[in-house]
A and B are shown apart, each in its own frame.
Chain A
């Protein structure tokens, strides 16, 4: 049994003073008898970089489609900067890098971006700017069909940058890229997000969520199962481990420390596992001779597997 939602990040928002970038309210999406999204409530503040993390079939892409106005929720409302998604998309307030497809092989890289510029009514130099920021200025004259997967993805990124959106949505953006391509792509995104753009990315790569997101929203079966910083989410599922040097420790004493769920002694080192690592650390430092403390979370992969395991949780 674990806590279903963290609320730590909401206290930063001052109610009424800031329009949320994204507001999902009781969103349900059904396809026939299949419920892809089952009651999502989510608020994302401007400037946040949020990972929508979940296994395949969790409802990430369905959620992204609704955020972009490509599909309508069966129930509930979706608002992007207070507008209907379709309208926000048409105004260029929100844009997206989709998973695959969406490119024509017989356009060049530059022509593809230029067409987007024409549609958004942006000048010619906006094209050069977007190509440069996406790191593909050197292949501007290459036919799209001759570009590698990573180059095509950066082209999609260039197109998404063109309207200078306030919110950028990335749907599994690095699927099929090699390690180098992935790092280059994320470097470009990270560089860009410094300007204060809100970014939401759907992913099933845990390390991406861990490395690039301020906030991780873990989705399973169309519901949010955890929401917080990467380390909060990790702690939520797996707790933390406090390691300390404490010669002569006895197992019974360690287990009696408030917050400790399990303990282990290896030589002079003790390993204490528990949800409330702060309480454990405080106890160790104030009531024992422990020194040389180290607090670690288990990696996000463990959290992910624990939280998305397919068993129903009696709350």
Chain B
């Protein structure tokens, strides 16, 4: 009998391995929808809305308006990418894959860690693609500040990885991004990412400060603009991270409870 000769032990880190991340990444790239959302759409939007001749010459903070739009689109791309990364759990739950994984040593916490890592990897790819596009199409920002903006756009997108995870557990849909993508566009308008808040009127601008995209946008642009309410933006990012993480934890506990 084979039983007695097999050495059995549990994996380290609850099954969180580079091998799994590599395989998951391969699958992610195979999904055209994800690629379009996170790698094609954001630079396309940048080219569409940010590269007119006026924008290239007009100044905004330490750079030109094209640079300003570039940062906004990098934030938008990172947001879409990390949300879709987190929302993968919805598809996997619908397919019964999460249940299958419970028949392996992978712990639920390691599973979530893998999803967050993946979300941040595609978020990074999205930010890089948008910024490289900007490099060739007239964005003008001081190098140090440019890198600072890109880094902030990426790091702050963790909020949306948590958001995607929360929605992925909340919505039983196989096409959760069809709901989330318009929702993110709406939140981007509301948070002053596509249109400056000053253009929206006082009441709306006040409400906007409490929406989740506001903080990330303000923070990511801060190295260039040096303007806006820094502490309000930081508070906004922290508060929404807490809200989405708490929501994801709540649904996650419910999902993995052994009834």
- What's the Cα separation between A116 and B106 when bound, in Å? 10
Which B residues are CB-close (under 8 A) to A103? 95-97, 100
A16 within 8 A of B: no
Docked Cα-Cα span, A100 to B94, in Å, equals: 12
A105 to B30, CA, bound (A): 11
Contact call B2/A104, Cβ cutoff below 8 A: no
User: What bracket does the count of chain B residues touching chain A fall in?
Assistant: 20 to 34
- Contact status B8-A115, CB under 8 Å: no
A86–B257 alpha-carbon span in the complex (Å):
13
List CB contacts (< 8 Å) of B92-116 with chain A: 92, 95-97, 99-106
Are B20 and A119 closer than 8 Å at their CB atoms?
yes
Contacts of A195 in B (CB 8 A): 1-2
Chain A residues in 8 Å Cβ range of B103: 68, 70, 89, 95-96, 98
Q: Is B31 an interface residue (CB 8 A)?
A: yes
Q: How far is the CA of A86 from the CA of B174 in the complex (A)?
A: 28
User: Knowing A71-B258, A119-B15 touch, does A46 contact B3 (C-beta < 8 A)?
Assistant: yes
In the complex, B201 has a CB within 8 A of chain A: no
Task: Write the chain B residue with the least CB distance to A167.
Answer: B3
Say whether B23 faces chain A, with CB atoms less than 8 Å apart: yes
Interface flag for A214 (CB, 8 Å): no
Number of interface residues of A (CB under 8 A): 38
B100-A111 in contact (CB<8A): no
A82 within 8 A of partner (CB): no
CB A225 to nearest CB in B, in angstroms, measures: 26
The residue of chain B having its C-beta at the shortest distance from the C-beta of A99 within the complex is B96
CB of B3 within 8 A of CB of A120, answer no
Near B by CB (< 8 A), chain A positions 84-137 give 86, 89-93, 95-96, 98, 100-107, 111, 114-116, 118-121
Is A173 an interface residue when CB atoms closer than 8 A count as contact? no
- A42-69 CB mask vs B (1 if < 8 Å, else 0) is 0000110000000000000000000011
Contact of A118 with B20 at beta-carbon distance under 8 Å, contacts A47-B1, A95-B103 already known = yes
Pairwise interchain contact B99-A70, C-beta atoms closer than 8 A: yes
Known: A103-B95, A114-B23. A90 touches B10 (CB 8 A): yes
In the complex, are the beta carbons of B20 and A46 less than 8 A apart? no
Note all chain A residues with C-beta closer than 8 A to B100: 98, 101-103, 159
CB distance from B106 to the nearest CB of A (A): 5
Report the bound CA distance from A111 to B30 in whole Å: 13
What chain A residues lie within 8 Å of B17 (beta carbons)?
A: 118-119
The A interface, classified by DSSP as helix, strand, loop or mixed, is: loop
Q: Nearest B residue to A143 by beta-carbon distance? A: B30
B138 to chain A, nearest CB (A): 37
Closest residue of B by beta carbon distance from A31: B259
- For residue B134, give the distance in angstroms from its CB to the closest CB of chain A: 31
Contact of A166 among B2, B9, B92, B104 (CB under 8 A): B2
In the assembly, what is the distance between CA of A117 and CA of B208, in Å? 48
**CB interface residues, B 72-126, toward A, < 8 Å:** 91-92, 95-97, 99-106
Please judge, given known A-B contacts A69-B258, A119-B11, whether A104 and B27 are in contact too, CB under 8 Å: yes
**Which residues of the partner chain A approach B30 to less than 8 Å between Cβ atoms?**
106
Known contacts A47-B1, A196-B1: A111-B97 contact under CB 8 Å: no
B253 interface residue (CB < 8 Å to A): no
Task: Compute how far the CA of A106 lies from the CA of B1 in the bound complex, rounded to whole angstroms.
Answer: 36
- Minimal Cβ-Cβ distance residue in A for B107: A90
State in angstroms the CA–CA spacing of A86 and B258 once bound together.
Answer: 10
Cβ B95 vs Cβ A102 within 8 A = yes
**Contact call A101/B95, Cβ cutoff below 8 A:** yes
B101's closest neighbor in chain A, by CB?
A119
Beta-carbon contact of B95 and A91 below 8 Å: no
Q: Are B96 and A111 neighbours in the complex by a CB distance under 8 Å?
A: no
Chain A residues closer than 8 Å to B258, beta-carbon distance:
69-72, 86
CB distance from A249 to the nearest CB of B (A): 52
Chain A residues near B (Cβ < 8 Å):
46-47, 68-72, 86, 89-93, 95-96, 98, 100-107, 111, 114-116, 118-121, 159, 164, 166, 195-197
* Interface contacts beyond A70-B258, A95-B103, A101-B95: sample of 16 additional A-B pairs, CB < 8 Å, sorted by A: A68-B103, A69-B258, A70-B99, A72-B259, A91-B9, A93-B3, A98-B99, A98-B100, A98-B103, A101-B96, A102-B100, A111-B26, A118-B23, A120-B105, A121-B9, A197-B2
- 9 residue pairs from A and B, CB less than 8 Å apart: A69-B102, A93-B3, A93-B8, A111-B23, A115-B20, A121-B9, A159-B100, A166-B6, A197-B1
